[in-house]
């Protein structure tokens, strides 16, 4: 539980002007929601895709706001305090948005689908659609709803530890009060306003979030004495993205690092990446997760589907790729600043995140989860603090709002409507609202598992590693290989999902510290081996199995009807469709995309320790 630590952090730090800024922010959200409700039509297309009238800047800002949410404010900043720029590899996946913009947007836009499972049905089979919908809903509960609720509680526990509530039959501390408040506020405008309210509020939230995070970085560096002081205060490896090439104490570039126990015996060997992640896993697993998330996840792609046309969708994705480069500097760096201010003693209140380890003071992983809200509380002046807290709330709410809308869309369009095709438009909207509410309750019950993990961002990457491989496989192999059929797709989805769920079932009792599992599984047993396989290696195993199953089953069964999948694979795109896509982009789009790639290369060249 993080609240005992946070109870030391902030008491009576909010001033009247801080509260005024927060109230103004919520006032703006209410106005936008009211406008969205007044403009919306009671149809599925308007509720779920804003009538397909979103412009490129709304699409891009909405994609960014949906992605940059609670896990970044809590988990990514905490990772910066403990591990430096190690997690920047995940954030420099802006190139995945370019894959969406140039490779997959044409397929999605010409198909005129509402959801990713619906696209899979057109490419493969109805059964594939239903299975993907179920997998996606499970993934949302584990990786988005529960994470968003948990992070909301962490932020409130750090900013307002005195915010407790005694209901008589139950006492709620600031963690749970904050979680429920964020849920209530987000659910209100999401359920009532639909995709239009989500998209336009996310555009505003993006501006507030970026401004607030930049202010935290600027004031933190000012307090520390500048960027040079940050480099001097922290060890060079915290600025090193190339560390996996030459692990410490190892001469060979690709040689494994041996882990030894206190007696010197080898426990296991691993190819460690920046002291935390194996380079093999990062080389294979991380791009797969990135491409799944940015190119095939309903949560993200739904924004592009709401664009007016292919041009607007592509440009929105390119714009989002620029925004995606920001987290390294507005989330990871503030976490590093928090650690630097703590070890230099320049802000004594931040030293609560430190513990002694090996004769030196390091950031304790659980305590470091509050690095960002702690900086907000202790280095920002009144007024500005209120703006930044509004940014924190914006991130928490936007990530939850996006998943609520995506979940309701998946359930309503891909499951409910299939079983009840005669349902009216208003009935579909009502079921979408009920589905979002149900997922909230399930997410609340999963929070104890997150608390038992090694950190929020680590938990998130592990969950995605188990659930992403089958979805990545069927989408990317599906558009590249026209010979693959519905039976192969269905087999890959089911086998991959079962493997992921099996790993979760093995890991969950350990994370929950259930009775009888405190010491883990018996060493050397089958379940012990599964539990101790690094999550990225297990993900690679799932990827290989899914690809083999999909290709094998497809070639052992009949070929698909190529006329039915016209325009849904590269090999079946017609000349007319190809010409329409070519007419949708120009030189500015190409140049803008090239600049993104250059910026990514510059970031890798700079962070070399």
Give pLDDT tens digits for 488-543: 999 999 999 999 999 988 888 876 666 666 667 888 889 888 888 888 889 999 99
**Quick one: residue 43, left, alpha or beta (phi over 0 = left, psi -120 to 50 = alpha)?**
beta
Nearest Cα neighbor of 436 from 417, 463, 409 is: 409
**Neighbour tally for 519: CB within 10 Å:** 8
φ, ψ for residue 263, nearest 5 deg: -85, -5
Helix (H) or strand (E) holding 355: strand 354-357
**Neighbour tally for 476: CB within 10 Å:** 19
Please give the distance of CA 464 from its chain centroid, rounded to a whole number. 9
Report the alpha-carbon distance of residue 554 to residue 468 in Å, rounded: 21
Per-domain residue ranges of the chain: 1-246+305-449, 452-573
Report the alpha-carbon distance of residue 244 to residue 607 in Å, rounded: 13
**Neighbour tally for 165: CB within 10 Å:** 13
End-to-end Cα, the chain, rounded Å: 34
Report the alpha-carbon distance of residue 460 to residue 267 in Å, rounded: 26
> Three-state SS for 373?
helix
**Neighbour tally for 81: CB within 10 Å:** 33
Indicate the burial class of 450 (C-beta count within 10 angstroms; 0-12, 13-18, 19 or more).
Answer: buried
Residue 375 is encoded by which pair of tokens?
Answer: 């900086």
CATH no. of 1-246+305-449: 1.20.1730.10
Report the alpha-carbon distance of residue 446 to residue 427 in Å, rounded: 29
Over the chain (609 residues), the average pLDDT of each successive run of 10 is: 35 72 79 66 46 73 75 79 85 92 92 84 92 85 74 68 66 68 64 57 73 89 94 89 51 43 51 52 85 87 83 94 90 94 92 85 83 87 83 70 71 79 77 74 69 65 89 96 96 96 86 64 85 87 97 96 92 93 95 96 87
**Three-point CA angle 177, 163, 459, nearest 5°:** 50
- Would you state the pLDDT for residue 232? 93
- Would you state the pLDDT for residue 115? 80
Nearest Cα neighbor of 159 from 186, 143, 181, 189 is: 181
Residues 137 and 442: beta-carbon distance below 8 Å: no
Report the alpha-carbon distance of residue 336 to residue 224 in Å, rounded: 11
φ, ψ for residue 27, nearest 5 deg: -60, -40
- Would you state the pLDDT for residue 50? 44
- Measured CA to CA in angstroms, residue 537 lies from 49, 51, 134, 197 at distances of 37, 42, 25, 40
Residue 561 is encoded by which pair of tokens?
Answer: 């009807």
Report the alpha-carbon distance of residue 36 to residue 40 in Å, rounded: 6
Report the alpha-carbon distance of residue 591 to residue 594 in Å, rounded: 5
Percent of the chain with pLDDT over 90: 30
The per-residue pLDDT for range 67-104, each reduced to its tens digit, is: 776 567 777 888 899 888 887 887 888 999 999 999 99
Residue 380 makes CB contacts below 8 A (sequence gap 6+) with 215, 216, 219, 388
Residues 466 and 538: beta-carbon distance below 8 Å: yes
Within 13 Å and on the Cβ side, how many CA atoms surround 315? 17
Find the helix packing angle between 116-123 and 456-480, rounded to 10°: 30
- Which 8-state DSSP code applies to residue 483? T
Residues 281 and 461: beta-carbon distance below 8 Å: no
Residue 69 makes CB contacts below 8 A (sequence gap 6+) with 148, 151, 395, 396, 398, 399, 400, 402
What are the residues facing 608 on neighbouring strands? 240
- Would you state the pLDDT for residue 44? 46
SS (H, E, C) 119-154: HHHHHCCHHHHHHHHHHHHHHHHHHHHHHHHHHHHH
360-363 vs 354-357, strand pairing mode = antiparallel
- Would you state the pLDDT for residue 546? 97
Helix (H) or strand (E) holding 282: helix 279-296
Nearest Cα neighbor of 156 from 9, 29, 18 is: 9
């Amino acid at each position: 539980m993080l609240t005992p630590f946070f109870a030391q952090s902030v008491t009576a730090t909010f001033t009247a002007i801080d509260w005024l800024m927060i109230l103004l922010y919520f006032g703006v959200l209410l106005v936008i929601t009211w406008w969205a409700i007044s403009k919306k039509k009671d149809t599925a297309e308007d509720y779920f895709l804003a009538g397909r009238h979103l412009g490129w800047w709304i699409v891009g800002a909405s994609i960014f706001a949906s992605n940059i949410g609670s896990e970044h404010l809590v988990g990514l900043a905490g990772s910066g305090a403990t591990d430096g720029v190690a997690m920047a590899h995940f954030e420099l996946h802006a190139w995945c948005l370019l894959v969406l913009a140039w490779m997959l947007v044409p397929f999605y836009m010409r198909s005129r689908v509402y959801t990713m499972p619906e696209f899979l049905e057109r490419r493969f089979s109805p059964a594939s659609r239903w299975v993907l919908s179920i997998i996606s809903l499970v993934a949302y509960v584990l990786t988005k709803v529960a994470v968003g609720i948990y992070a909301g509680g962490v932020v409130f526990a750090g900013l307002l530890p005195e915010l407790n509530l005694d209901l008589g039959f139950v006492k709620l501390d600031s963690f749970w009060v904050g979680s429920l408040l964020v849920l209530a506020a987000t659910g209100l405008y999401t359920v009532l306003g639909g995709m239009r309210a989500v998209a336009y509020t996310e555009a505003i939230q993006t501006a507030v979030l970026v401004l607030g995070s930049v202010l935290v970085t600027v004031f933190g560096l000012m307090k520390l004495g500048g960027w040079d002081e940050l480099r001097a205060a922290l060890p060079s490896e915290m600025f090193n993205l190339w560390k996996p090439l030459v692990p410490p104490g190892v001469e060979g570039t690709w040689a494994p690092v041996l882990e030894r126990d206190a007696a010197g015996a080898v426990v296991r060997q691993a190819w460690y990446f920046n002291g935390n992640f194996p380079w093999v896993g990062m080389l294979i697993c991380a791009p797969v997760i990135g491409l799944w998330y940015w190119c095939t996840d309903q949560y993200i792609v739904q924004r592009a589907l709401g664009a007016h046309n292919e041009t607007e969708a592509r440009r929105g994705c390119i714009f989002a790729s620029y925004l995606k480069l920001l987290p390294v500097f507005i989330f990871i760096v503030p976490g590093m600043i928090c650690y630097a201010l703590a070890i230099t003693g320049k802000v004594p209140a931040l030293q609560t995140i430190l513990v002694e380890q090996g004769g030196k003071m390091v950031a304790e992983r659980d305590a470091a989860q509050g690095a960002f809200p702690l900086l907000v509380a202790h280095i920002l002046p009144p007024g500005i603090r209120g703006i930044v807290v509004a940014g924190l709330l914006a991130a928490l709410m936007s990530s939850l709002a996006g998943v609520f809308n995506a979940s309701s869309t998946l359930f309503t369009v891909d499951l409910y409507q299939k079983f009840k095709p005669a349902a009216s438009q208003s009935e579909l909207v009502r079921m979408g609202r009920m589905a979002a509410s149900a997922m909230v309750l399930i997410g609340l019950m999963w929070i104890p598992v997150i608390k038992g993990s090694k950190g929020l961002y680590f938990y998130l990457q592990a969950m995605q590693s188990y659930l992403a491989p089958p979805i990545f496989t069927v989408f990317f192999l599906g558009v590249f290989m026209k010979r693959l059929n519905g039976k192969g797709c269905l087999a890959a989805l089911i086998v991959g999902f079962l493997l992921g769920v099996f790993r979760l079932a093995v890991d969950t009792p350990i994370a929950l510290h259930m009775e009888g599992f405190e010491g883990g599984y018996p060493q050397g047993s089958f379940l012990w081996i599964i539990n101790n396989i690094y999550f990225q290696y297990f993900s690679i195993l799932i990827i290989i199995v899914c690809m083999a199953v999909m290709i094998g089953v497809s070639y052992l069964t009949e070929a698909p009807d190529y006329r039915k999948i016209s325009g849904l694979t590269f090999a079946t795109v017609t000349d007319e469709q190809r010409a329409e896509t070519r007419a949708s982009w120009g030189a500015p789009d190409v140049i803008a995309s090239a600049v993104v790639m250059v910026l990514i290369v510059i970031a890798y060249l700079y962070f070399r320790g």
